[in-house]
Structure 1
Amino acid sequence: MPHHRLAHLNHQDVRIDELTVHSYEMGLYLVEADFDGRKGFIVNDDNQPQRFHSVEQVKQSLSDCTVREAWLVHQSAYDEMCGGPEKTDNTLKLPICFKH
């Protein structure tokens, strides 16, 4: 599976076509980048997904590169309650501004 490292992405000559910040519970964010025709998660030195604690931390970590389009994506688990209606797609997708 393709992946990216912050050290390779955060340069002035890098242009990320699309960045997706996946929001999870308890302030955990994982980031997926579409760069150079490869879409993959940003990983740390141990090849584990790089964890971020806020959207602002993501922005700061990628402050030198150009991000063409960015999204914050969150899926709520509240529709999984017993006896409720069948699960529907409750994905929330919001644009993020990366302009400096």
Structure 2
Amino acid sequence: MHYHRVAHLNRQEVRIDEITIHSFEMGVYLVEVVFDSRKGFIVDDNNRPQQFHSVEEVKQALTECVVRQAFLVHQSAYDEMCGGPEKVDNTLSIAVHFGRSVD
């Protein structure tokens, strides 16, 4: 599995194809990046997924690079009810604008 570090991505010459910001309960955000044909999560110095606490924090961490497209993705667990209908895909995906984006 590939992984990326903020220090390697946050440079002016870097062009990121796609960013997916995964939103989890308790205000935790993990970031998956497609860069240089490699898809992987941003990791910290211990090679663990780096946790962010807001979309704005992700944007601030990646101010120098150019982002082609970005999305905030959230899957709700609240549709799991006893005796309810079979679970359906309730993924919410919202486009996110980065300051240095391109079409």
Same fold (TM over 0.5): yes
Deviations 1:40-73 (A, max 9, x none): 0000000000000000000000001001100000
CA shift, 1:96, in A, is 0.1
Write out aligned runs for 1:8-27 (5 A). Answer: 8-27=8-27
* 2:35 is the counterpart of 1:35: yes
* 2:50 is the counterpart of 1:50: yes
| Partner Cα distance (1:9, 1:99) in 2 | 15
> SS at 1:17's partner residue?
strand
Structure 1 stretches of 4+ moved >6 Å: none
Which ranges in structure 2 are unaligned for 5 or more consecutive residues?
none
Whether contact under 8 Å (2:63, 2:99) holds in the other structure is no
| Residue 96 of structure 1: aligned partner | 96
> SS at 1:26's partner residue?
helix
| Partner Cα distance (1:24, 1:43) in 2 | 17
CA shift, 1:82, in A, is 1.1
| Partner Cα distance (2:95, 2:42) in 1 | 19
Deviations 1:25-44 (A, max 9, x none): 01100000000000000000
Q: Root-mean-square deviation (CA), in Å?
A: 0.7
TM-score, structure 1 as length reference:
0.98
| Partner Cα distance (1:81, 1:7) in 2 | 43
CA shift, 1:83, in A, is 1.1
| Partner Cα distance (1:91, 1:25) in 2 | 14
Number of aligned positions between the proteins: 100
| Residue 83 of structure 1: aligned partner | 83
CA shift, 1:99, in A, is 2.2
Identity %: 69
